[in-house]
Structure 1
Amino acid sequence: MVTNDEGIVSFKHKVIEEVARLAWNDELSDDYFDELVYKLVPGPKATFRCCIYKERELVRQRIRLAMGKCPTAEKEKTSSNIIQVLDPACDECPIASYIVTDNCRLCMGKACLNSCHFGAISIGRNRSYIDPAKCKECGKCAAACPYNAIAHLERPCKKSCTTGAITYDEDGLCIIDEEKCVQCGHCIHSCPFGAISSKSYLVDVIKAIKAGKKVIAMCAPATEGQFGNDITMASIKNALIKMGFADMVEVGLGADMTAAFEAKEWAEALEEGKKMTTSCCPAFINMLKKQFPEEFEKNKSTTVSPMCAVSRYLKAVNPGCVTVFIGPCIAKKAEAADESISDNADYVMTYGEFRALLRSKDMKLTPVEGEYQEATVWGKRFASSGGVANAVLECMQEMGVDTSDIKLRKCAGGQECRQALLLLKAGRLPEDFIEGMMCPGGCVGGPSKHMAENEITKAREELLSAADKRKIIENLKKYPIDKFSMYRDGHMDS
């Protein structure tokens, strides 16, 4: 799978792998950190950066991220964001957003000069020149140029951010506005210099396992198909137990739980003529909460996400256990850290981090004979765009609710989500319900997906075709849902 940061993503994961090895061996100390820096960047010549010293500083910052910290001690004092910028890596993009190219003919009309109201354009000997200190990035000069000689160089991190959370300081370094950031993580893989990354909590997971705690993994519905058509949920479970986890549960079971409770909410909303949004995607919920606070209070589902549902179930039947979510999502790390939602996952790891954890124990995923299925096919398909809404409708039908007239708006990607919420805010949304997912294609298109989405989808369909056709409500009768809350505020059904 080709990404903007393909050339360095393996190196990022190598740092995490080596830190995990130190954690397994009880060697997390400053002395070993220095050894690790020189092991990863032996020199004498630089590989990625201008000099060996910058590369080593970046490794030091990545080691801190791999331990769940900010890249520097200074940032630790001011930032709580899951997504962080490594400043030494963020210095290769051009500061100017608009530049004049060789297409400039120094025409007599001087349309660019005449269109600029800020005095940013001057006429040089061979071409026009834009002063980046004066340019307001309005784009009028580019629109006015008859030769298309002015190019808009939108930096990839900013282009990928649909919430306007990314700006730059006077030196051109990326700044993430934590009040606007929804933690979707798309900026991470958009940066070709690896300047943006997220905190990792593998060290905490390893410490919990080594301390003898009952650590239970929870694998996202998107997992099936991520590693090919021969790696089933049983394969993942087998590897995790060998690694030291007490057990693994598929979060598709939590998706069944969420679908059943959202079905009740949707049925009530239909009677009231009220529009609602889904609650599964944490980045979508963050967008709703930060940019549409009134709609967050009035229109969002109060049901917890599948991750939280499974975590609460596990903690209800295994008091004191530690729950670890594994999936393609960066925003789940922020959801787990949200103290307003009780008994959620204790830690979250991405597929890249999961693979690094496997390598730190010299393990590989292998095919396993035998069946393992806790979720319905509806719960398993939560990971794809439309999957949440389809599961909720299935539950409503199982409850005897007529769904023939329900109109759905299925949003996949930040722009689609934002457009739907703007219509909801304006009172012009024609649909009854919004399914919001911040990743194109749904969770299977998440920032930490292991393969290209088309490859994952092909493998998923083969694996899901082997699942039995159990019904959602019938499946949930096996589980003690009355022992824990399915609502964000923690209240129990009366």
Structure 2
Amino acid sequence: MRGVYNSVTDIRRKVFASIADMAYSDNTDYKERMESIPYEIIQGKQAKYRDSVFLERAIIGERLRLGMGLPVRDITTAGAISDGVEESVVAEKFYDQPLVNIISFACHACPEKKVMVTNGCQGCLSHQCVEVCPKKAVSIVDGHSEIDQDLCVKCGKCMDACPYHAIIKIERPCAASCGMNAIHSDEDGKAQINYDKCVSCGQCLVSCPFGAIVDKGQIFQTIHAMKQGDEVIAAVAPAFVGQFGAGVTPEKVIAALKEAGFSDVVEVAIGADLCTIEEAEDFLEKVPEKQPFMATSCCPAWSVMAKKEFPQFKDYISMALTPMVLTARLIKKDHPNAKVCFIGPCAAKKLEASRRSIRSDVDFVLTFEEVMGMFVAKGIDLPQIEADETTFDIGTAAGREFAVSGGVAKAVKTLIEKNNPGTTVKVQAAEGLKNCRTMLMMAKAGRLNGYLLEGMACPGGCVAGAGTLAPIAKASAQVKKYANEDAMKFADESVHSEKVQEISHMYDVPAESDPA
């Protein structure tokens, strides 16, 4: 369940804090420290979470490597945790694919999908489970129901019919969360990712109850850039509100980020406003005269899914740059020598920033959870830190609501209708890649002609991204409250609204919005 602090969450955050602590330290013997961290996190002789304390430490070692941007080791070959660390001791390192990785010896080899009878079966006289099964897979053995797995098609009819709810369907959590059907089993029953299908949304890594799926990180490189004297500016996604604990105001988050080493902080809602203006112009120009509908571009995982599975709609996805890229370009226009670190909820943004056309805009991508590791390593007490009263280069309410499902389409719709009285924009929003696929099937059937389509890979929107800290419903409510408090309601009220064309076309070859 998302938003529940558990042992997997605890280990993940301890690893992030350890990486940050190592990076901040004046001790540059990184090999020695990397080998010792698993013993710092898993102390003593007794295993706490698994069968063996050695297995627990080995898994920590792989999580540590991935958190520093290094690949998972081949378990059939001898090697140290620190092998290849020299490649990460740099102030600039882009994510190498694959971004999302499975630590095979941490995987529980969960069944892919199975309908099974539990001990709750009462052997009732009616045998409704037997009667409703279309494949005759259910029978009564020694007075209790039994399912022939070779015949079962997992339709769930027996489960629905059982008056005692004694029949359940279990499914590998990572596969159930994957909207691309990209996860299957290898020859040992371990989870395996089909990277031709994967769009790096990260939902699998926050759904695995064994903590076997991990994405790569750039904490170490970001801090290294700070230590060598680079101007590193934090570009914070609108979903940040409420992510760092109760009572931690935006002003306190700014103060904490500066204490962590960032030279300045900018709200990505300003880029969301520019994205809104550009998408509104695109929609008015193209729909329905040049194309039947238009889809938003800001969620990279949704954009890649649409282009992979519905290539005929490729040109119907807005060419507007994402808020992350637009904000980064605004920053670099005024600070050409600065490095931009996008801080947000999203795993897919890491690969978006790794595109060759975007590397000059965004140097680092960190999740809220990874940044929390930096705060822990620096000993920053967020509730107690003195708020930074520096004027925040804020976005509008419309830009801030990009963080929640429906917010992007709402921003574009309200802007068009405000500036074009009598115009009504029809919108359709979907959250979760499975629902996004259904929406595109409706578009394929011609049922959404004239519509603006918004797709969000994560159920709930950006506030449900793989790198978030807060429960989804609570985070969504706090973002909406924060947006409602903004005096500027429409995207074109932004002080940067006149810069859309200039920022979008800073380079001869415009950056594409989706990751490779």
TM range (shorter): 0.7 to 0.9
Q: Is the 2:102–2:192 Cα contact (8 Å) retained in structure 1? A: yes
Cα 1:288–1:137 change in 2 (3 A) is: farther
* Aligned-partner Cα distance in 1 for 2:140–2:479: 58
Aligned to 2:30: 29
CA offset at residue 197 of structure 1? Answer: 1.8
Q: Is the 2:114–2:154 Cα contact (8 Å) retained in structure 1? A: no
Aligned to 1:339: 356
> Is 1:444 aligned with 2:463?
yes
Task: After superposition, give the CA deviation of every residue in 1:360-417 in whole Å (9 maximum; x if it has no partner).
Answer: 111132352635242111111111222212222333345x334633211022222321
Aligned to 1:302: 319
* Aligned-partner Cα distance in 2 for 1:94–1:412: 26
In the comparison of the two structures, how many residue pairs are matched?
485
TM-score normalized with structure 1 length: 0.87
Aligned to 1:453: 472
* Aligned-partner Cα distance in 2 for 1:444–1:263: 24
Aligned to 2:410: 390
* Aligned-partner Cα distance in 1 for 2:373–2:220: 12
Give the counterpart of 2:180 among 147, 154, 163. 163
For residues 398-477 of structure 1, the aligned pairs below 5 Å read 400-402=419-421, 404-430=423-449, 432-469=451-488, 471-477=490-496
Q: Is the 2:110–2:171 Cα contact (8 Å) retained in structure 1? A: no
* Residue aligned with 2:504, SS: coil
CA offset at residue 329 of structure 1? Answer: 1.4
CA offset at residue 61 of structure 1? Answer: 0.5
* Residue aligned with 2:265, SS: strand
Give the counterpart of 2:308 among 290, 295, 303. 290
Instruction: Between 147-156 and 261-270, report the one with greater CA deviation.
Output: 147-156
CA offset at residue 224 of structure 1? Answer: 2.0
Percent identity between matched residues is 32
Give the counterpart of 1:90 among 94, 98, 107. 107
Aligned to 1:16: 16
Task: After superposition, give the CA deviation of every residue in 1:330-353 in whole Å (9 maximum; x if it has no partner).
Answer: 211121122344534222111111
* Aligned-partner Cα distance in 2 for 1:198–1:349: 11
CA offset at residue 215 of structure 1? Answer: 1.0
CA offset at residue 182 of structure 1? Answer: 1.7
Aligned to 2:334: 317
* Aligned-partner Cα distance in 1 for 2:148–2:221: 49
> Is 1:189 aligned with 2:206?
yes
* Residue aligned with 2:487, SS: coil
* Aligned-partner Cα distance in 2 for 1:96–1:229: 39
CA offset at residue 44 of structure 1? Answer: 0.5
Cα 1:100–1:230 change in 2 (3 A) is: closer
* Aligned-partner Cα distance in 1 for 2:31–2:159: 57
CA offset at residue 421 of structure 1? Answer: 0.9
Name structure 1 gaps, 5 residues minimum: none
Instruction: Between 316-325 and 140-149, report the one with greater CA deviation.
Output: 140-149
CA offset at residue 171 of structure 1? Answer: 1.8
Q: Is the 1:262–1:301 Cα contact (8 Å) retained in structure 2? A: yes
Q: Is the 2:298–2:323 Cα contact (8 Å) retained in structure 1? A: yes
Counterpart of 2:372 in structure 1: which amino acid? R
Cα 1:477–1:85 change in 2 (3 A) is: closer
* Residue aligned with 2:343, SS: strand
Aligned to 2:231: 214
* Aligned-partner Cα distance in 2 for 1:433–1:486: 24
* Aligned-partner Cα distance in 2 for 1:177–1:137: 26
For residues 107-122 of structure 1, the aligned pairs below 5 Å read none
Q: Is the 1:5–1:192 Cα contact (8 Å) retained in structure 2? A: no
* Residue aligned with 1:204, SS: helix
* Residue aligned with 2:206, SS: helix
Aligned to 1:138: 153
* Aligned-partner Cα distance in 2 for 1:15–1:228: 20
For residues 16-95 of structure 1, the aligned pairs below 5 Å read 16-25=16-25, 26-27=27-28, 29-73=30-74, 80-91=97-108, 93-94=110-111
* Aligned-partner Cα distance in 2 for 1:181–1:86: 17
Cα 1:100–1:18 change in 2 (3 A) is: same
Cα 1:385–1:95 change in 2 (3 A) is: closer
* Aligned-partner Cα distance in 2 for 1:145–1:262: 45
> Is 1:277 aligned with 2:295?
yes
Q: CA RMSD in A?
A: 3.5
CA offset at residue 90 of structure 1? Answer: 0.8
Cα 1:426–1:489 change in 2 (3 A) is: farther
> Is 1:244 aligned with 2:253?
no
* Aligned-partner Cα distance in 1 for 2:450–2:388: 45
Q: Is the 2:283–2:294 Cα contact (8 Å) retained in structure 1? A: yes
Aligned to 1:199: 216
Counterpart of 2:424 in structure 1: which amino acid? D
* Aligned-partner Cα distance in 2 for 1:157–1:415: 14
* Aligned-partner Cα distance in 1 for 2:183–2:375: 34
Task: After superposition, give the CA deviation of every residue in 1:272-313 in whole Å (9 maximum; x if it has no partner).
Answer: 152100001111112112211221x22100011000111122
Counterpart of 2:307 in structure 1: which amino acid? K
CA offset at residue 321 of structure 1? Answer: 2.0
Cα 1:327–1:146 change in 2 (3 A) is: closer
Q: Is the 2:236–2:266 Cα contact (8 Å) retained in structure 1? A: yes
Instruction: Between 480-489 and 349-358, report the one with greater CA deviation.
Output: 480-489
* Aligned-partner Cα distance in 1 for 2:99–2:237: 19
Q: Is the 2:398–2:483 Cα contact (8 Å) retained in structure 1? A: no
Name structure 2 gaps, 5 residues minimum: 77-82, 85-95, 512-516
Instruction: Between 478-487 and 386-395, report the one with greater CA deviation.
Output: 478-487
* Aligned-partner Cα distance in 2 for 1:478–1:268: 19
CA offset at residue 107 of structure 1? Answer: 10
Aligned to 1:267: 284
* Aligned-partner Cα distance in 1 for 2:235–2:159: 55
Cα 1:51–1:342 change in 2 (3 A) is: closer
Instruction: Between 387-396 and 214-223, report the one with greater CA deviation.
Output: 387-396
CA offset at residue 170 of structure 1? Answer: 2.5
Cα 1:433–1:458 change in 2 (3 A) is: closer
